[in-house]
Amino acid sequence: MLDVLFQPREVRFNFGTEAGERLIVNQNEEVTFQCFAESNPHPDIVIRNQRDEQIIMMKYATYDVQHTIPKVSCADAGEYVCSARNMLTNGEGALSRLILIVRCRPRPSADTVKETKITALLHVDVTLQFLAQDFFDEKNKTVFAWYKQKVPLQNDGNKYIISSYGLQSNLIIRNITYSDYGQYQVVVRNSFGHNTYYYELLEKAPQHSTEPITASTLFGVTVGVSSFTFLVIVLAFLFWIYTRRKRTLKITNRKTAEVITEYQATTRHNDNDAENLYEQIDEQCTATGAYIEMQGIKTDKDTNCEYIDMTIQTHNPSEKNCE
């Protein structure tokens, strides 16, 4: 007798008396499905859950593998893959896929469960979002309804904007006021039943800046204060110099005027007195000039010896120069 060897060429799922790629069951029912494979020699058969790649059943050198779930739950829904290989298999091997649909009431996704309490400031928009777990329900069988403390909300496009698609629904509340705070409900229905989930919208207190003072910030403040202080000191010093020079010029001008007036009065009475006064003027003029030069003050002609000489010589041309 001729024994023909061949690798697995047909793999299929059976459940009860039926075969196919989709199996729909209700929550809490018992579910049994089998995987058959034709090959020579007998193949090794593996059934795995495609969602997490977990092997749930494996058998060596056999034509079939059977798997039973005593009480099916929503978590069991998903895609299952059966693969068969023998010594002749080169590559992945023969495969068959089964979609297990568990008809159960809608449940929220893990992210939705974490976001049941939402805080919002006044006069802003806030979004409440519900996302159901994907249990391979029939398309467009999941519907949503939103409520504010058990009062139905309508999609008016102004205060409330409701948008739903697939397994997700969003409720947008525009321009939050005090009356908007409170409890909200979303009722989710599918082909098997419905569930109600709750949200709490709470007022969010305005945040005040609590940013810590860093070393760089402190350094910047210190440099700024130091620069300002230095600038004030420089300006004060310059103002002091300006005031002192201005006072010196006033004193010099006043003394010069007094000298000239006294000389003019003296020359009208006595030439000897005028000669003595001129010698005093010479000494005072020289001392005043030296002081002004030491102070670094630039004077005009009203405050120097040349002007005193010119004035005296104009009154009495025979007088000598004080230089």
* pLDDT given at position 68: 93
Q: Cα dist. 210→37, 203, 204, 229 in Å?
A: 68, 20, 17, 29
Distance of CA 180 to the CA centre of its chain: 27
What value does the mean pLDDT of the chain take?
78
Q: Cα dist. 32→11, 59, 68 in Å?
A: 17, 16, 4
Question: In which band, very low, low, confident or very high, does the pLDDT at 31 lie, cut at 50, 70 and 90?
Answer: very high
At 108, list the tokens: 């929220």
Convert the pLDDT of each residue in 215-241 to its tens digit.
Answer: 666 666 666 777 778 788 878 878 777
Convert the pLDDT of each residue in 78-122 to its tens digit.
Answer: 899 999 999 888 877 888 999 998 888 888 887 777 778 899 999
* pLDDT given at position 279: 63
* pLDDT given at position 173: 96
The CATH superfamily assigned to 6-103 is Immunoglobulins (2.60.40.10)
Convert the pLDDT of each residue in 241-288 to its tens digit.
Answer: 777 776 665 665 566 556 556 655 655 555 555 556 556 656 655 655
Q: Is 149 exposed, middle or buried (0-12, 13-18, 19+ CB in 10 A)?
A: exposed
d(CA 243, CA 62): 113
151-152 β-sheet, strand order: 117-120, 194-203, 182-189, 143-148, 151-152
d(CA 84, CA 81): 10
Asked whether the beta carbons of 58 and 48 are under 8 A apart, the reply is no
Q: Where are the beta strands (DSSP E) in the chain?
A: 6-15, 18-19, 22-26, 31-40, 44-49, 54-59, 64-69, 78-85, 94-103, 117-120, 126-131, 143-148, 151-152, 160-165, 168-173, 182-189, 194-203
3-state secondary structure of 12: strand
Nearby residues of 144 by Cβ (< 8 Å), 6 or more positions away:
130, 162, 164, 169, 186, 187, 188, 189
Tell me which of 127 and 3 has the higher pLDDT: 127
d(CA 6, CA 303): 128
Among 181-195, 243-257, 301-315, the range of highest mean pLDDT: 181-195
How many other β-carbons are positioned within 10 Å of the β-carbon of residue 184? Answer: 21
d(CA 267, CA 246): 32
* pLDDT given at position 297: 47
CATH number assigned to the domain covering 110-203: 2.60.40.10
d(CA 4, CA 39): 10
* pLDDT given at position 302: 46
Tell me which of 71 and 282 has the higher pLDDT: 71
